[in-house]
Amino acid sequence: MSGGGMFKLEELSQAVIRGDNDAAFNLAENALAENVPARQILEKGLIPGLRRVGDLFESGEYFLPELIVAGDAVSQALDLLEPILAQAETPFMGNFLIGTVKGDIHDLGKNIVVMMLKGNGWKVTDLGVDITPEEFCETVKKGDYQVIGLSCLLTMTMGHVEKTISRLTESGLRDKIKVMVGGAPTTPAWAEKIGADAHAKDGPAAAKKAAALIGKGE
């Protein structure tokens, strides 16, 4: 790739940080036209941009609106890249299964996690809300997932996160998959207590921790 290509990928990162959909799309399109591999556009342009957005969120400079428009910019560019990336046998990061646990129908936090994961190169299967332990287990059994994310917003549904992990163990599936938990009432200490592999407090943290869980962290 030429030096100009690298410059464009840095520009692409900046477009993501600004949440500029059109610029992100055009820069990705130009990079493809210059024969920059799709995986490189993702790895050197979109993901660094979205990680910087995550850092800005964590440091208190960015909030939900900025996170969402950055996710939109990535999503626009991914529309171009996905058909090409899909030709590869394995996704860039891996397959991530996610859902809000039984009894809980809140999904804002989960949806932002999905957005961040997709932008970071994960193929995400979102089961939706109010998912029973059995439904999670059935999906894990049938698919090739590296990480499962269990979300809950209510104190009273935290117990269903623990039940889902227990059901994975009883079904002999626990060793097959890493478990990440998150949601407003959850804490890292609680996550450890119930046997999860990781706790994420928000979307950017989920993307970082998911990468670390499969040995692809920064």
Partner 1 sequence: MGKMTGLERVLTALKLKEPDVVPHFERVAKTVREAILPGASEEDFIEHMDLDGLRFIDRTHSWSYEMVDENKRIKKDQWGGFVRYTTEDNPVPMEPAIKSEKDLDAYVAPDPDQPWRYEYLKKVVKRFKGQRAIVVGVTDVFALGRENFLGDINYFRAMVKNTDMIERANEIILDYQLRYMKNCIESGVDLFWVNGDWAMTEKPMVSRKFTERFLAPPLKKLVDFAHSRGVPVVKHTDGNIWPIYDVIIDSGIDGLHPIDPMAGMDIGEAKSKFGDKVCLCGNVSCAFSLVSGTAEEVRRETREVIRKAGKGGGLICMSSNSVHSGVKPENYVAMVNAIREFGRYPLAL
Which parts of this chain interact with partner 1 (CB under 8 A)?
Answer: 19, 60, 63-66, 68-69, 72, 103, 105-108, 111, 129, 154-156, 184-185, 201-202
Q: Which is nearer to partner 1, 66 or 82 (CB)?
A: 66
Closest CA relative to residue 167, chosen from 150, 154, 153 = 150
In angstroms, give the least distance from the CB of 34 to partner 1: 29
Q: Which is nearer to partner 1, 82 or 202 (CB)?
A: 202
Residue 97 · residue 129 · CB < 8 Å? no
In angstroms, give the least distance from the CB of 37 to partner 1: 30
Closest CA relative to residue 182, chosen from 91, 127, 111 = 111
Residue 25 · residue 78 · CB < 8 Å? no
In angstroms, give the least distance from the CB of 93 to partner 1: 23
The structure tokens listed for 198 are 């990781």
Handedness of CA 153, 158, 162, 163 (dihedral sign): negative
Residue 57 · residue 105 · CB < 8 Å? no
In angstroms, give the least distance from the CB of 105 to partner 1: 5
Q: Which is nearer to partner 1, 91 or 159 (CB)?
A: 159
d(CA 171, CA 41): 40
Q: Which is nearer to partner 1, 8 or 110 (CB)?
A: 110
Q: Which is nearer to partner 1, 57 or 96 (CB)?
A: 57
Q: What's the distance, CA 162 to chain centroid?
A: 22
d(CA 54, CA 61): 10
In angstroms, give the least distance from the CB of 114 to partner 1: 11
